[in-house]
Amino acid sequence: MARAWESLDIAELCRRAQRFEHVLEEARRRVEQRRGRIAWYPYRSLSGLSLIEKLLTGPWRRLLALAGDDPVLDLGCADGELAFFLESLGLRVHAVDYPETNANGMEGVRALKEELGSSVEILGTDLDAQFRLPGHRYGLAFFLGTLYHLKNPYYAMETLAGCARYCVLSTRIAAFAADRKTPIRHLPVAWLLREGEANQDWTNYWVFSEAGLRLLLERTGWRVLAFATFGSSRSDPVTAEGDERAFCLLKSVPLERQGEIEFLHGWHQLEYGCWRWTEREFAVLAPLPASMRPMLKLRFFLPELVIQKVGPLTLAAWVDERPLASETYAEPGEHVYVRGLVGGPTDQRVRIEFRLDRALPPDDTDPRERGIIVSSLTIE
């Protein structure tokens, strides 16, 4: 049975968001009457939906239909305005921010949750650390205005690609360097901000060029479905008048890279376009780039059910029959198996065999042998 929010056009979504602003304003007023003044996030998060409306065309205008049956993620949620609005439409939502850089230490989002009687799941976590999200599968993630506040944007986007099918991303970009003379739009670069630059905000770090942002997305496992920029056409990374924002609709494709990785045996079907269960033994044929020290990265999720049923798992691997060091995983959650490989002077393809020491056997609930859930496999 279709759910009401699945058919909403983005224009209707914007109209409903405007009406929900009054609900939020009243909730803030009641919160302050009860507990005193709060340093609310100074910007209205829902205003970004008007730019997302300009970004989306065709079938993408029914944005919320992309969520499917999975929760929606509001990453960098500020006071949770977007999260509470989406919940009001009937979606399950997780809201994530970092108390140390949040405008009010996340007091605002938690106070609004209580006042609204909300069921939004809230998590405070450092996105510059080896972070975990409250869920391991999301149909749709909103990552608005946060990427340039991170020290490690590559890691954040790569991790998100492993657990979200679609993402709406916005971040500041620059067409010129800080001197406002040197063009960088078509160079794959990012400007590292000094303290005090860009709004006097010490949490600002990397402002990408358009080419740099597109390359970042490509290398972290995302396909760009829609891309638009708003603001100054002569943008720079440091001044208010030079502010330009990129808005993107992205699809995670870490296991769909055609022509790069051939799945040989031990893989179950692709799920949600993003991840696969493996059997106890599984293998790929993958390109090994010409490099002195290429790195193999296997990012996977280890379900708690597997740990409960069979105990800790040891993962071993071989590259063209040359063994790599094994590793044992005793805790459920996200993990990354990283090993250095021996490169060569030219590109080549290698066979990589993986073996777990145990796996879930077929049972009444699932006829498959199940080991781990792989979200990405790369050699760089």
Whether residue 244 sits in one domain with residue 273: no
What pLDDT does residue 203 have?
84
Whether residue 218 sits in one domain with residue 189: yes
Task: Judge whether 164 lies within some domain.
Answer: yes
Report d(CA 233, CA 242) in Å as an integer: 8
Whether residue 326 sits in one domain with residue 235: no
Judging by DSSP bridges, how do beta strands 295-302 and 348-356 pair with one another? Answer: unpaired
What does the block give as tokens for 328?
């044992």
Per mean pLDDT, which range of 70-84, 161-175, 209-223, 283-297 is the poorest?
A: 283-297
The dihedral of CA 39, 43, 45, 47: what is its sign? positive
What pLDDT does residue 200 have?
73
What pLDDT does residue 344 have?
67
Pick the residue with more confidence: 269 or 329?
A: 329
State pLDDT tens for residues 8-26: 999 999 999 999 999 999 9
The CATH number of residue 321's host domain is 2.60.120
Whether residue 294 sits in one domain with residue 350: yes
State pLDDT tens for residues 304-324: 999 999 999 999 999 999 999
Of 225, 252, 279, the residue at which a domain comes to its end is 252
Q: Where are the beta strands (DSSP E) in 258-340?
A: 262-267, 276-288, 295-302, 313-319, 322-329, 333-340
Whether residue 166 sits in one domain with residue 65: yes
Residues 337 and 356: beta-carbon distance below 8 Å: no
Whether residue 289 sits in one domain with residue 211: no
What does the block give as tokens for 303?
């379900």
The CATH number of residue 188's host domain is 3.40.50.150
What secondary structure letter does DSSP report for 233?
A: T
Whether residue 367 sits in one domain with residue 326: yes
Task: Judge whether 231 lies within some domain.
Answer: yes
State phi, psi for 312 to the nearest 5 degrees: -55, 150
Whether residue 9 sits in one domain with residue 154: yes
Pick the residue with more confidence: 131 or 44?
A: 44
Domain that includes residue 340, residue range = 262-379
pLDDT tops 50 at residue 346: yes
State phi, psi for 263 to the nearest 5 degrees: -85, 120
Judging by DSSP bridges, how do beta strands 93-97 and 138-144 pair with one another? Answer: unpaired
Of 217, 252, 287, the residue at which a domain comes to its end is 252
On the 0-12 / 13-18 / 19+ scale of CB atoms within 10 A, 244 is buried
Report d(CA 281, CA 279) in Å as an integer: 5
Task: Judge whether 62 lies within some domain.
Answer: yes
Residues 145 and 170: beta-carbon distance below 8 Å: yes
Per mean pLDDT, which range of 8-22, 196-210, 214-228, 251-265 is the poorest?
A: 251-265
Of 224, 252, 280, the residue at which a domain comes to its end is 252
Report d(CA 96, CA 75) in Å as an integer: 5
pLDDT tops 80 at residue 356: yes
Whether residue 133 sits in one domain with residue 272: no
pLDDT tops 60 at residue 259: no
The contacts of residue 13 (CB under 8 Å, 6+ apart) are: 49, 53, 63, 64
Report d(CA 114, CA 110) in Å as an integer: 6
Mean pLDDT of the residues in the chain:
90
At 2, is the pLDDT very low, low, confident or very high (cuts 50, 70, 90)? low
At 198, is the pLDDT very low, low, confident or very high (cuts 50, 70, 90)? confident
pLDDT tops 50 at residue 258: no
Whether residue 334 sits in one domain with residue 192: no
Please tell me the total count of domains within the chain.
Answer: 2
Whether residue 160 sits in one domain with residue 32: yes
Residues 318 and 324: beta-carbon distance below 8 Å: yes
Residues 247 and 217: beta-carbon distance below 8 Å: no
Task: Judge whether 35 lies within some domain.
Answer: yes
DSSP structure string for 320-335: TTEEEEEEEE-S-EEE
Task: Judge whether 257 lies within some domain.
Answer: no
Report d(CA 86, CA 71) in Å as an integer: 10
What pLDDT does residue 44 have?
87
Decide: helix, strand or coil at residue 12. Answer: helix
Residue with tokens 């994530």: 96
Helices vs strands, H then E, count in the chain: 8, 17
Whether residue 286 sits in one domain with residue 213: no
Residues 306 and 360: beta-carbon distance below 8 Å: yes
Secondary element (H or E) of residue 249: strand 244-252
CB count in 10 Å sphere of residue 206: 23
What is the average pLDDT across 239-252? 94
What pLDDT does residue 271 have?
73
pLDDT tops 70 at residue 292: no
What pLDDT does residue 45 have?
87
At 273, is the pLDDT very low, low, confident or very high (cuts 50, 70, 90)? low
